[in-house]
């Protein structure tokens, strides 16, 4: 397994707007100029709690250069749909895959919280301040960014306890 330069963040993009009937082969064709790690196994579809496709997926790539190539596909079309491509990482991918789909565990017991709708300039320090009095694990805040390095308005926070 290849690891990114920042402690195992990997080389991952998140794709949104896929046709619900989309296959791994179609995603591979969409990213035909990119080297996907482990081929079709490097494409991880996101499913709803009911087990239906969400139209989103994570794609694991072989290098940072491949991520840059993949990000150039942002807003290109697949069929009649335009597809958004965002920079992601292993932390976000693992969290989302663990907490979605029909067999996802009860998320109330893992100490993780997903925040959405944050101001785009929101910093890790502001999140720490917002949760003052609660212990966040070291390096427990992830702020996903898009292909231009801008915040997506989401954050993942891991607390030291489930309380």
Q: Residue 162: pLDDT above 90? A: no
Residue after which a domain boundary falls, among 82, 104, 126: 104
pLDDT of residue 97: 86
- Summarize the confidence of residues 63-67 as an average pLDDT: 96
Q: Cα-flanking dihedrals φ and ψ of residue 2, to 5°? A: -90, 140
pLDDT value for 106:
55
Judge if 62 and 80 occupy the same domain.
yes
Residue 66 — very low, low, confident or very high, per pLDDT cuts 50/70/90? Answer: very high
Buried b (16+ CB within 10 A) or exposed e, 28-64: bebbeebebbeeeebbbbbbeeeeeebbbbbbbbeee
Last residue of a domain, one of 53, 88, 104: 104
Q: Over 90: is that where the pLDDT of 138 sits?
A: no
Q: Is the pLDDT of residue 139 over 50?
A: yes
Q: Are residues 77 and 138 in the same domain?
A: no
For the cut 80, the answer to whether the pLDDT of residue 67 exceeds it is yes
User: Domain holding 109: CATH number?
Assistant: 3.30.70.330
Q: Report residue 14 as tokens.
A: 């998140």
**Mean pLDDT, all residues of the chain:** 85
Same-domain check for residues 134 and 84: no
Cβ-contact 150, 114 below 8 angstroms: no
69 and 141: one domain?
no
The whole-number average pLDDT for the span 4-15 is 73
Separation in Å, CA 154 to CA 2, 103, 144, 163: 26, 24, 6, 21
Which structure tokens are listed for 128? 């720490």
**Model confidence pTM above 0.85:** no
- How confident is the model at residue 7, as a pLDDT? 46
Q: Residue 8's pLDDT is what?
A: 63
Same domain for 32 and 84, yes or no, is: yes
**Count: domains in the chain:** 2
pLDDT at 16: 94
55 and 87 share one domain: yes
Same structural domain for residues 4 and 37?
A: yes
pLDDT of residue 121 exceeding 70: yes
- The pLDDT confidence band at residue 105, using thresholds 50, 70 and 90, is low
Query: Domain check: are 115 and 86 in the same one?
Result: no
Q: Given this model, what pLDDT does residue 20 score?
A: 87
Q: Whole domain around residue 135: which residue ranges?
A: 105-163
Q: Are 96 and 54 in contact (CB under 8 A)?
A: no
Rounded mean pLDDT, 106-126: 79
């Amino acid at each position: 397994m290849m690891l990114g330069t920042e402690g195992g963040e990997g080389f991952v993009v998140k794709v949104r707007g896929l046709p619900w009937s989309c296959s791994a082969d179609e995603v591979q064709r969409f990213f035909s100029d990119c080297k996907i790690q482990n081929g079709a196994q490097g494409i991880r579809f996101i499913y709803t709690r009911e087990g239906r496709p969400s139209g989103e997926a994570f794609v694991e790539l072989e290098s940072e250069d491949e991520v840059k190539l993949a990000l150039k596909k942002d807003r290109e079309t697949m069929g009649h749909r335009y597809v958004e491509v965002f920079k992601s990482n292993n932390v976000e991918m693992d969290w989302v895959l663990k907490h979605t789909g029909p067999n996802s565990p009860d998320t109330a017991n893992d100490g993780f919280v997903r925040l959405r709708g944050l101001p785009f300039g929101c910093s890790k320090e502001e999140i720490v301040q917002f949760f003052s009095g609660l212990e966040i694990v070291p390096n427990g805040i992830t702020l996903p960014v898009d292909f231009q390095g801008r915040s997506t308005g989401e954050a993942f926070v891991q607390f030291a306890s489930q309380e």
